[in-house]
Structure 1
């Protein structure tokens, strides 16, 4: 169901303090905390004795004490104290996960720690660029499988019906889509020429009248999306046209973390090429984006429920090409990972035999 050898967002950096913070990623309970030097730690949230969540225990300095019998673990998952017995049991350890902080987010590697390559975290060169404004973003939990979210974020067409008061209008209904499959994910995009400006964008544009609009939807494995919005005065844009001096540019970064098969934690922030230092614009932008994403939440929750209880087959449409190709890519990666894990176990069993 899930690709484990990958980085997933576990929390905003402001959510994790010198206190125990329980969460769940890929169906695995995890406890996060900061050591006294500020370093973030991610441990399996289960004492090896009777599996009481460590998050129900106590944080003493840099170590976590289980609230049942006091077994105590450091940031590496090693049991450093077992006062209730004469010596620390050999099997008394918990799993420790690699952690990286970037873009105000705490990322956790859920697979083999030896394969945790920090270079695989999405690169965002504009993040520290003073010419780009930053909306610090938000998060929400959506009651749906994460693949319904990747479907949604590879589907520019849905804005015409789901986001009529925000991102969409009739111009988004029928223009053909272009799908590109890359090694790291899928891109679905299209240009809309000489169209009305959708409601979300009107208050932010530096030009008047109709526009040319690029819809660019990219999702990278395992579930990280880059949505680019480009609006320029009508007649000034195209595949190879230079960027107009008054163009509206927005890069929306979206990170979907599976909680389990039926719930997804959704994190996002946006970068923009205008009003970089205007906090009022940032607050308004954040509010407008949150409202639009609440529209998605309603639809995706209902889609998950509808698909779960369906009694007749669902159908696919031509507009589903991008989402379906992403799903096939994910299936292939998960299958390769599982085959490799199975081979490793087989070889280990052979050695021990």
Structure 2
């Protein structure tokens, strides 16, 4: 069901403090807390004695204390205190998970800890670029399997119908998609030339009249999407610098964390090549993007129910990228299991 040897986003960094924070990921219960030096610890959220969640206990120094009988576990998951026993039981240990704080979120490695490499976390070169604005977004839970969301994020065609008042327009209908496979994932893209600017973007572009628009939906393993939007005056389409002086660029980063087989936690933020320090623009972005994602949420939760009831009877040409990504993920999961 899940690829475990991978980095997943567990929580917003702002959510993690000295107070235990419970998270369920890939059908596993975890507890997160900060050490005295503010670094993040991630442990199995289950005391091995009577399985009370450690998140119901207390952080003491750099350890967490079970709220039932006081067993204390250090940052590695080893028991360092057993006040109701004459000695620490050999079985008193909980699993430790590698964690990294980056881009305002907490990344957790869910598989073999010896294979965890922080350099494998996605690289976002514009994150610290003073010329780029950041809408830090937030997170939402969607009651569907994460692969229905990866399907959605590899399907630029859906925006015409699901996001009519924001990202979509009738100008997008029927324009063929290009599907490219690389080592770390699948990308679906297309250029749309001499079309109207969609409603969401019209309030931000710096030019008048029609545009050339690039839709680029990149899905990286295990379930991280980078959606690039390019809007440039009609007749000036290009994917590389130098761009037209009035080009609009937006990169949307979307990180999917399976909770279980029918629920997913969805984290996101956007970077833009304008208004880098404008909090009002960031606020508008956050409100409008969340409204659009809520449109996806309604559709995807209904898709989960419909697929549970009857399954799919057909595929469309627009499914090509999604089906390729699913096939490669299945291969990776089988290889990991073997």
**TM category, shorter:** over 0.9
Separation (CA, whole Å) in 1 of partners of 2:10 and 2:202: 34
After superposition, give the CA deviation of every residue in 1:273-323 in whole Å (9 maximum; x if it has no partner).
01111111111111111111111111111001110111x643111110000
Aligned partner of residue 321 in structure 2, secondary structure = helix
Helix, strand or coil at the partner of 1:160? helix
| Gap regions ≥5 residues in structure 1 | 340-353
- SS, match of residue 24 in structure 2: strand
Q: How does 1:183-222 map onto structure 2 within 5 Å?
A: 183-222=183-222
Rounded to whole Å, the distance in 1 between the matches of 2:260 and 2:27 is 5
Normalised to the residue count of structure 1, the TM-score between the two structures is 0.94
State which drifts further: 37-46 or 239-248.
Answer: 239-248
Q: Is the 8 A contact 1:63 1:75 kept in 2?
A: yes
The answer for the alignment partner of 1:346 in structure 2 is: none
SS of alignment partner, residue 29 of structure 2: strand
User: Residues 81-230 of structure 1 correspond to what in structure 2 (within 5 A)?
Assistant: 81-230=81-230
Specify whether residues 247 and 240 from structure 1 end up closer, same or farther in structure 2 by C-alpha distance, changes over 3 A only: closer
2:277 is equivalent to residue 309 of structure 1: no
Sort the Cα spacing of 1:274 and 1:86 in 2 relative to 1 into closer, same or farther, 3 A: same
Alpha-carbon separation, structure 1, partners of 2:186 and 2:328:
9
What's the CA shift for 1:220?
0.2
Residue in 1 aligned with 2:65?
65
Seen in structure 2, the aligned counterparts of structure 1 residues 118 and 53 have a Cα distance that, compared at 3 Å, is same
Quote the Cα distance in structure 2 between the aligned partners of 1:241 and 1:265: 35
Distance 1:241 1:123, change over 3 A: closer
Question: How many residues are treated as equivalent by the alignment?
Answer: 338
SS at match of 1:197: coil
User: In the aligned structure 1, how far is the partner of 2:279 from the partner of 2:83?
Assistant: 53
Query: Does 2:243 match 1:243?
Result: yes
Distance 1:81 1:234 in 2: 68
Which residue does the alignment assign to 2:322? 323
Instruction: Check whether the contact 1:143–1:264 (CA below 8 A) recurs between aligned residues.
Output: yes
Q: Secondary structure at the match of 2:200?
A: helix
Task: Note if 1:261 corresponds to 2:261.
Answer: yes
Change (3 A) 1:290 1:77: same
Q: Structure 2 stretches of 5 or more lacking a match?
A: none
Give structure 1 regions of 4+ aligned residues with deviation exceeding 4 angstroms. 238-242
Structural mapping, 1:19-30, within 5 Å:
19-30=19-30
Shift of 1:61: 1.9
Secondary structure of 1:19's counterpart equals: coil
Assess, with a 3 A threshold, how the Cα gap between structure 1 residues 238 and 125 changes in structure 2: closer, same or farther: closer
Contact 1:191 / 1:238 at 8 angstroms: preserved in 2?
no
CA distance in 2, matches of 1:298, 1:69: 44
